[in-house]
Amino acid sequence: MTAQQILDALNAARVRATYGAVAQVLGIRPLSVAKHLGVRRPEASWIVSARTGLPSGYANIERHLNLLDSSKIIRTGDELARLLNTAALRSEAVSTTSNTVRLIGIDLAWNCEKNGA
């Protein structure tokens, strides 16, 4: 499991998770999580302080626009692991569907003087 996979799942679910929950899943210390997230950006702001419910050190402009839409915050590694398993199952289901693309179009100019009609 990588920090990016966790961010992808949190972004898709539009739910926050604490630094502690993320640390449990990654097997690192909570204080090390920020280093794994990289540059402060809206996509990484779903990982928050358990005390404030906000990402530590982020300016308002660096936070995701939907960050506070839900009061739900994942607080344990087990809860986060369940979300990640659900996201993985969804991704697997999508990848097993047909990749066939069909394009259908109608030539509205077919019956005109340029086509000999």
Are 59 and 44 contacting, i.e. CB atoms less than 8 angstroms apart? no
How far is the C-alpha of 103 from the C-alpha of 115, rounded, in Å? 23
Q: Is 36 within a domain?
A: yes
Q: Could you list the residue range(s) of the whole structural domain that residue 55 is in?
A: 3-95
Model pLDDT for residues 22-34, shown as the tens digit of each residue: 999 999 999 999 9
Q: Is 69 within a domain?
A: yes
Q: Is 91 within a domain?
A: yes
Q: Is 22 within a domain?
A: yes
Q: Is 116 within a domain?
A: no
Decide if pLDDT at 114 tops 80: no
Model pLDDT for residues 36-71, shown as the tens digit of each residue: 999 999 999 999 999 999 999 999 999 999 999 999
Are 58 and 3 contacting, i.e. CB atoms less than 8 angstroms apart? no
pTM for the full predicted model:
0.75
Number of domains observed in the structure of the chain: 1
More confident residue, 2 or 95: 2
